Amino acid sequence: MGKDKKKKSKKKQKSESRPLKDTKTSKQFTGQFGSEEVAYTATAATQVFESQSEKVSYFYVSYTKDDADPATRPILFCFNGGPGSSTVWLNLGLFGPKRMAFDEDGFKEGMQGRLVHNEQSILDVADVVCIDAMGTGLSRTEDKDKEKDFHHWKKDIAAFSEFIVHYLNRNGRWSSPKYLAGESYGTLRGAGIARELFADHNVEFNGIVFISMILNYQTSAIDSSNMLVHPGNDLPFAVYLPTYAATAWYHGQLADEYQQMPLREFLDEVEEFALGEYWSALAQGDLIDDDRRKTVGEKLAAFTGLDAKFIDHYDLRIHIMRFCKELLRDQHRTVGRIDSRYKGIDRVKAGNVLEADPSIDSTGGVAASALNTYLREEIGLDTEEVYNIMGMEVWKNWDYEDFKGRYVDTSEAMREVMSRSPGTKVFVANGYYDLATPHFATEYTFSHMGLDPEIRKNVQMEYYEAGHMMYVHKPSLDQLAADLRAFVTQTS
């Protein structure tokens, strides 16, 4: 009898079913954006549809200009990355009418996030739809156990693409000039979505915006568990070097010769070395002679602010985490990976790995407070569900099934879209202090996509003296907003 009870208790319990339905909470506002006063409607909503035989509910926040003609009014769909991140960052950092308040340099003020008017929002020139990926924000599957099925690069792309098609159908926006914007992993996702929408649904975009781009993981394939890159791949060490140099310059760790140079002028010299003398030395591997090894090591030390002996100990190969821990070790400080301007304090000076990324620690709490205040108190969303700002379990369990045995790479998808739809323009925003998706890695990816010269001119590359989320830095936000406003105006 006891054994039977034990067996019954081990039976798999039924998965939790959560009834899904379309919901919408809207409120009208007026705000000054650019040089125009705009009457607009802010909407927090769920869009329910069937994706890959599963009923799903994607949460989104949209901002649409009142009484605008859909035929001529541009619409921009945006999302963050992670994978596992909600779209709070692009919503309340760049595109939305309200933004998280930081000081002028992008550092937090107080513990709770405040909302301020975002006059830099591009709502004067485009409507915006901020979409949360499955398992983030308030996006859900009907069967709770099926949520993890969408934590998969290909299924994620398919569901996002279906969301956009359904949104166009339900809101009469097929004739609108269309834009796609992704940040970080959202750029890899964006390239996949652009291809899927073009090839399978005949949706073309006037413009695609990549913020802190990564399309090819070969440029950053560093294993943080053993502090090595994938065997035989020295590329990340070369393309990360300019960002190491920019970080050292920012923190005043260089000799006067470099410290007194304008950042861009300094980086020109570093970049020439990175894919010249340094790249050649890495290619020699163990065959490099002692004199050359010493010369290259001393140049690396001069550019990065690290000790030449430290660099030599690691065979001229500087790992991201080691750099973040080592640069300010004598001050008992670390520097951030997402934004290397931020400084952190670890328990001990020793070790090679950060306890935490200070740039993430300095923005996460601000985002959570600001987002929940905005949805509930400003738009009026009535829900007791927890808005998932960042799902680390999503990131840890993300499935790259289709890339088994090779680097994750959607740059070919991007090349295909740009070649087959030559009217599509691409805008790329880079932060000089971004150690997650370095600007030089982005340049390398675009220069190795095999774009025809006629198509290559459709890429606009811009740079900002901030990190991964360059828009938290007010001067960078001002410039980025102006650049995006011009990009949309010129391409719509």
Which residues 6+ apart lie within 8 Å of 477 measured at CB? Answer: 94, 120, 470, 471
- pLDDT of 346: 94
Pick the more confident residue, 371 or 353: 371
Output the average pLDDT for the chain: 92
Q: What is the pLDDT of residue 14?
A: 57
Element at 460 (helix H, strand E): strand 459-464
Residue 160 has pLDDT above 90, yes or no: yes
CA 22, CA 115: separation in Å to the nearest integer?
28
Q: What is the CATH number of domain 23-218+364-491?
A: 3.40.50.1820
Mean pLDDT of 81-106: 94
Residues sharing a CB contact under 8 Å with residue 186, sequence separation 6 or more, in sequence order:
78, 79, 80, 81, 85, 211
Q: Are 77 and 164 in contact (CB under 8 A)?
A: yes
Domain with CATH 3.40.50.1820 in the chain: 23-218+364-491
Per residue in 320-329, pLDDT (tens digit) is 999 999 999 9
Cα 429 from Cα 256, distance rounded (Å): 30
pLDDT, mean of residues 175-192: 97
- Measure the CA–CA gap between 320 and 328, rounded to whole angstroms: 14
The pLDDT confidence band at residue 111, using thresholds 50, 70 and 90, is: confident
Answer whether residue 10 shows pLDDT above 60.
Answer: no
In the structure, what pLDDT confidence band is assigned to residue 229 with cuts at 50, 70 and 90? low
What pLDDT score does 226 carry? 47
Classified as helix, coil or strand, 81 is coil
Please state, in angstroms and rounded to a whole number, the distance separating the CA atoms of residues 270 and 242: 6
The pLDDT of residue 257: 96
User: What mean pLDDT is predicted for residues 302-310?
Assistant: 98
Report the pLDDT value the prediction gives residue 6, as an integer from 0 to 100. 47
Taking the C-alpha atoms of residue 200 and residue 193, their distance in angstroms, rounded to an integer, is 10
Is 316 within 8 Å of 281 (Cβ atoms)?
A: yes
Q: Is the pLDDT of residue 3 over 80?
A: no
Q: What is the Cα–Cα distance from 207 to 459, expressed in whole angstroms?
A: 10
d(CA 304, CA 203): 45
Beta-strand ranges (E) seen in 167-266 are 178-184, 207-213, 222-223, 228-229
Handedness of CA 110, 431, 395, 166 (dihedral sign): positive
Least confident segment among 364-373, 384-393, 453-462? 384-393
Task: From 185, 143, 180, select the one nearest 51 (Cα to Cα).
Answer: 143
Alpha carbon separation from 349 to 309, 326, 330, 332, 360 (Å, rounded): 18, 9, 8, 6, 20
375: DSSP letter: I
Can you give the pTM of this predicted structure?
0.93
CA separation for the pair 369, 354 (Å, rounded): 26
Look at residue 295 in the predicted model and tell me its pLDDT: 98
Using alpha carbons, list the distances in angstroms from residue 162 to 153, 191, 196, 267, 415. Answer: 14, 15, 10, 42, 22
Query: For 11-23, what is the mean pLDDT?
Result: 71
> In the prediction, which pLDDT does 53 show?
87
- Residue from 242, 252, 241 nearest 318 by CA: 241
Average pLDDT over residues 340-364: 91
Residue type present at position 366: V
Distance of CA 124 to the CA centre of its chain: 24
